[in-house]
Amino acid sequence: MKSDVIAIDNKGTGFKEAVEATKKLAEFNGLNATDSLHLQLFTEEMLSMVRIVTGEVKASFWVDQEDKTYDLNLTTETVMDKDKRATLISASSSRKNEAAGSFLGMLRDAFEQAMTADSDKVFYELPDDVASDVVGHFVDDPEYDQYEASVLKKLADDVKIAIRGGKVHMTVRKAF
């Protein structure tokens, strides 16, 4: 059984609908409250992680269900750089790009890795005397803490990330 495909964007459109669709599917299949909450948590963490890592989000979300196995799917497109790619791949259970399964896939993946641009982030340090004069100065840690990825890897049975060009497909599997 496949749920409806829900369009998600970085303005929050579709976020609530995706969580609600997951909840309805769990209820329809008779999952208990704890298992239903797990599926909802997976949905929220997937959406949050992709939004944090990729920035701009135009994604599609759906759930595939067979017997008591649920596959939560999310696809999006992004401008890929080395940092995004490494962060996304590190979130998968196997720490491998699932799109690189065949010889040609591995060859394409190696070529894409070589062609991926370095991150264009530039960090400036303000001297303490200047920083104290800036109203609302906020020190932001440039490192993504990977909270969402750790929750998914800890509670889900499998997390797969497939990257081909700028397209990212994330699948979170849980069998109850």
- Confidence band, pLDDT 50/70/90 cuts, at residue 139: very low
CATH numeric code, 6-175 = 3.30.565.10
Q: Cβ(49)–Cβ(148) under 8 Å? A: yes
Instruction: Specify the pTM.
Output: 0.73
Over residues 20-25, the mean pLDDT reads: 92
Average pLDDT (141-151) is 66
| Residue 39: half-sphere exposure toward Cβ, Cα within 13 Å | 30
Question: Of all helices (H) and strands (E), which one includes residue 175?
Answer: strand 167-175
Checking if the pLDDT of 109 tops 90, the result is no
The domain limits of the chain are 6-175
Would you state the pLDDT for residue 3? 86
